[in-house]
């Protein structure tokens, strides 16, 4: 004990030992360590390692695993703040936006086949509304609406599941199912949200939807919110559809572990953006071959196509029961509001709890419901047949005139379609020196303005939210034919449009 | 953000995960759930302890083994959300451990759930008097459980376990 260093070390150790013993419960720990040594240093190292890991884990700071934010220094932050320029609250309008605002026609008074417009105060021949059968000005329907208004009032005061269902809603559902020949039907309060709601009620994450890339905006949004895997096939190209279905089949064979998925083919009856018709017979063939369900959007074709207006199924002589879901709009031809989905009972009942637009939206007002029902009834009467015939004749008349100018008007619509998309042929545009989409829009707007002022015809460009369209169609003028116009009026309007197209091109040359 | 990228399944899945509370994993943070963890271990030990013919050594080993296997199945083997009421597949292919606290590492719950098996292991080896066989079984079960909890194993799939089936075609 004469070495002071050794003495100091010894005393330190004994002090530590004493202080450890002083801590309550330390005896157990000391015992534990004494017991656990048992002449096995390797095991002790293992246990110590685990204990150290636990302590280290406890002391670690929390962090997000997917964090890939850029770490900035104080100086960099200051620099960025100094550089920052606030964006204007309201962006200055671009030329095309200003044109869009200035040239929009405003209708004064009631909508109809010949509405009065604000710009000139004149009545124009309406070729811009989806009032295909002229139901808007139908006196019988008006009378029915007034009577219903007196009986039921205006709104339905709630979603269908919460006191929003009226007897007339159920009657309309039955009427649609009876008219189309399906087992059952369900009505929605908004035409636009119907298809989106139907798609997302059935197709979920992991499911597969095969969609025509010429589909309208509502279908695109529906596929997007469904979170399914979306496959696009070329517009109305059945060979391409088969290629897509085949590639999915081959892929599925390769992935044996893939869970069972629901598969859908979604297409439109009468394409809003092209005016042509989906080849339903071929689609049904492929559906059966590859075992898919078909969701058919008949928003524009319902009440228009087929001998008695039953839509695409009637046109192709396909039983409506074979199409899994027929979705339609009552806001177009029927001049009411809302939409419907017709199909088997299970399909319809599923939507009563899972169709978002059905569950979370107030049901449609009684008078619109009754008008829609009445409008369907008219379709089956001689009056309806006459209207349909007149619509076909008017469409054919307009088409015939336009086809006479194929060198400067390109028509993507098929015969019998009341929607006519008129475009400049690409070659004509190139020679006229029109290259960008905006220039083309301006050129078409000139035509729209000219026929409105000179010939008293109201037409419109087809308008899209360009950035939101998956496959943006070329710009066009969309002419909607109405059954209640006379043949003469339609012919005159068609001539006016044809001349305006030619003039617009020649002005640029 | 282009429209095409909004159609990407992964992007939407992450969006959906953050859109609402994950009821499948939030309960793990409750203090009651922490307590239950300990109570369950005590019950398992008690259960094996009262079976006649089982030595205390064996009952400790079985307790560790059961706890580790059980928690492995619960936290690392089962994926997704069992009740598809709201999330609609937002957590498909993601284990419960990865769902806890939205994937944030070293949160209190994670620390607790990592420490419990270590303490249990130390206790059980102590009470099995360091029998080599029991020790190695306990160590193996604990280490596998701990490896699965490592931050570097987040959404990493080894040996085709829980392999996410690619539905993206």
pLDDT of B169 above 60: no
Residue-wise pLDDT for B93-141, tens only, equals 788 888 888 888 888 889 999 999 999 998 888 887 777 788 888 889 9
Helix (H) or strand (E) segment spanning residue A94: none
* Cα A497 from Cα A452, distance rounded (Å): 10
Which pLDDT does position A247 carry in this prediction?
92
* Domain range annotation of chain B: 9-156
Residues ≥6 apart with Cβ < 8 Å to A110? A136
Interface mutation vs chain B, best among A45, A206, A359, most B CBs within 10 Å: A206
Average pLDDT of A316-326?
93
Rounded to the nearest 5°, which phi and psi values hold at A2?
-95, -15
* Cα A368 from Cα A345, distance rounded (Å): 24
Q: For residues A222 and A245, is the Cβ–Cβ distance under 8 A?
A: no
Cα B37 to chain centroid distance, Å, stands at: 12
This model of the complex carries an ipTM of 0.80
The reply to whether residue A205 touches residue B105, judged by beta carbons under 8 angstroms, is: no
Nearest to A63 among B106, B166, B169 (CB): B106
pLDDT of B91 above 90: no
pLDDT of B31 above 50: yes
Nearest CA in chain B to A257: B165
Q: For residues A189 and A362, is the Cβ–Cβ distance under 8 A?
A: yes
Q: How many helices (H) and strands (E) does chain A have?
A: 19, 16
**pLDDT band with cut points at 50, 70 and 90 for residue B168:** very low
Beta strands in A394-476 (DSSP E): 410-411, 419-423, 457-458, 460-461
Of A259, A254, A245, A253, which is closest to residue A210 (Cα–Cα)?
A: A245
Average pLDDT of A280-300?
94
Nearest CA in chain A to B123: A32
Q: What is the reported pTM?
A: 0.80
Average pLDDT of A179-205?
93
Q: How far does chain A reach from its first CA to its final CA, in angstroms?
A: 115
Residue-wise pLDDT for A108-166, tens only, equals 988 888 999 998 889 999 999 999 999 999 999 999 999 999 999 988 889 998 889 99
Nearest to B88 among A60, A64, A204 (CB): A204
Nearest CA in chain B to A37: B130
Which pLDDT does position B167 carry in this prediction?
45
Rounded to the nearest 5°, which phi and psi values hold at B124?
-70, -40
The minimum CA-CA distance between A292 and chain B, rounded to whole Å, is: 17
Report, in angstroms and rounded to the nearest whole number, the Rg of chain B calculated over CA atoms. Answer: 19
Average pLDDT of A248-261?
77
More confident residue, A67 or B55: B55
- Do the bridges between strand A325-329 and strand A339-343 make them parallel or antiparallel, or are there none, so unpaired? antiparallel
Beta strands in A119-174 (DSSP E): 125-126
Q: What is the dihedral of CA A32, A33, A34, A39, to 10 degrees?
A: 120
Nearest CA in chain B to A46: B139
Which pLDDT does position B56 carry in this prediction?
85
Q: Quick check: A51 contacting B, CB < 8 Å?
A: yes
More confident residue, A254 or A411: A411
For residue A187, give the DSSP letter: E
Maximum average pLDDT range among A337-351, A465-479, B13-27, B76-90:
A337-351
Q: What percent of chain A has pLDDT over 90?
A: 62
Q: Quick check: A43 contacting B, CB < 8 Å?
A: yes
Residues of B in contact with A46 (CB under 8 A): 139
Residues of B in contact with A43 (CB under 8 A): 130, 135
Strand partners of residue A325: A295
Residue-wise pLDDT for A327-375, tens only, equals 999 999 999 999 999 999 999 999 999 999 999 999 999 999 999 999 9
The minimum CA-CA distance between B52 and chain A, rounded to whole Å, is: 27
Residues of B in contact with A255 (CB under 8 A): 165-166
The reply to whether residue B105 touches residue A229, judged by beta carbons under 8 angstroms, is: no
Helix (H, G, I), strand (E, B) or coil at A409: coil
* Cα A328 from Cα A330, distance rounded (Å): 7
Of the listed ranges A9-23, A325-339, A450-464, the one predicted with least confidence: A9-23
* Cα A458 from Cα A114, distance rounded (Å): 9
């Amino acid at each position: 004990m004469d070495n002071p260093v050794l003495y100091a070390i010894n005393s330190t150790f004994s002090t530590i030992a004493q202080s450890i013993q002083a801590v309550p419960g330390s005896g157990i720990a000391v015992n534990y360590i004494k017991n656990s040594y048992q002449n096995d240093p390797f095991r002790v190292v293992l246990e110590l390692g685990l204990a150290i890991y636990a302590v280290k884990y406890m002391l670690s700071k929390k962090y997000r695993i997917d964090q890939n934010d850029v770490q900035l220094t104080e100086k960099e932050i200051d620099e960025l703040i100094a550089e920052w320029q606030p964006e204007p609250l309201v962006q200055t309008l671009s030329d095309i936006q200003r044109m869009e605002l200035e040239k929009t026609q405003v209708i004064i008074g009631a909508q109809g086949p010949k509405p009065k417009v604000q710009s000139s105060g004149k009545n124009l021949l309406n070729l811009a509304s989806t009032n295909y059968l002229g139901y808007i000005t139908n006196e019988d329907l008006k009378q029915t609406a007034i009577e219903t208004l007196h009986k039921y009032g205006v709104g339905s005061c709630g979603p269908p599941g919460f006191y929003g269902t009226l007897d007339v809603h159920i009657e309309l559902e039955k009427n649609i199912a009876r008219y189309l020949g399906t087992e059952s039907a369900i009505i929605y309060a908004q035409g636009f949200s119907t298809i989106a709601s139907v798609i997302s009620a059935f197709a979920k994450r992991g499911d597969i939807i095969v969609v025509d890339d010429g589909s309208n905006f509502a279908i695109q949004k529906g596929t997007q919110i469904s979170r399914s895997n979306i496959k696009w096939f070329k517009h109305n190209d059945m060979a391409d559809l088969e290629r897509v279905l085949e590639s999915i089949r081959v892929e599925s064979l390769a992935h044996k572990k893939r869970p069972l998925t629901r598969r859908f083919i979604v297409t439109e009856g009468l394409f809003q953006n092209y005016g042509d018709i989906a080849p339903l017979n071929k689609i049904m063939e492929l559906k059966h071959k590859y075992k898919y369900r078909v969701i058919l959007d008949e928003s524009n074709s319902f009440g228009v196509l087929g001998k008695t207006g039953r839509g695409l199924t009637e046109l192709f002589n396909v039983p409506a029961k074979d199409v899994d879901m027929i979705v339609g709009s009552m806001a177009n031809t029927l001049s009411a509001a809302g939409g419907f989905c017709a199909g088997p009972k299970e399909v319809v009942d599923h939507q009563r709890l899972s169709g978002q637009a059905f569950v979370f939206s107030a049901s449609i007002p009684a008078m619109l419901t009754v008008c829609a029902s009445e409008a369907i009834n008219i379709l089956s009467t001689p009056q309806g047949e006459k209207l349909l015939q007149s619509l076909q004749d008017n469409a054919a008349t307009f088409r015939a005139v336009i086809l006479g100018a194929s060198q400067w008007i390109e028509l993507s619509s098929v015969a019998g379609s009341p929607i006519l998309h008129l475009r400049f042929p690409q070659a004509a545009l190139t020679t006229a020196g029109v290259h960008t989409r905006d220039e083309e829009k301006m050129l078409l707007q000139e035509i729209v303005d000219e026929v409105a002022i000179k010939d008293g015809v109201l037409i419109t460009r087809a308008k899209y939210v360009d950035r939101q369209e998956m496959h943006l169609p070329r710009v066009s003028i969309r002419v909607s034919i109405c059954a209640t116009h006379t043949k003469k009026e339609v012919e005159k309007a068609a001539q006016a449009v044809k001349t305006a197209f030619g003039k617009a091109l020649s002005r640029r040359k | 953000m282009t429209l095409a990228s909004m159609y990407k399944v992964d992007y939407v899945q992450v969006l959906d995960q953050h859109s609402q509370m994950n009821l499948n994993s939030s309960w793990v943070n409750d203090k009651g759930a922490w307590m239950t963890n300990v109570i369950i271990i005590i019950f398992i030990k008690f259960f094996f302890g009262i079976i006649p013919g089982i030595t205390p050594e064996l009952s400790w080993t079985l307790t560790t083994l059961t706890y580790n296997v059980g928690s492995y199945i619960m936290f690392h083997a089962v994926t997704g959300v069992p009740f598809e009421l709201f999330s609609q597949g937002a957590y498909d292919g993601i284990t419960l451990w990865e769902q806890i606290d939205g994937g944030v590492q070293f949160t209190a719950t994670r620390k607790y759930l990592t420490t419990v098996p270590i303490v249990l292991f130390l206790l059980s080896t102590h009470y099995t008097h360091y029998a080599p066989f029991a020790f190695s079984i306990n160590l193996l079960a604990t280490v596998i459980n701990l490896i699965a909890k490592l931050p570097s194993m987040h959404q990493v799939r080894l040996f085709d376990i829980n392999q996410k089936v690619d539905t993206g075609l």
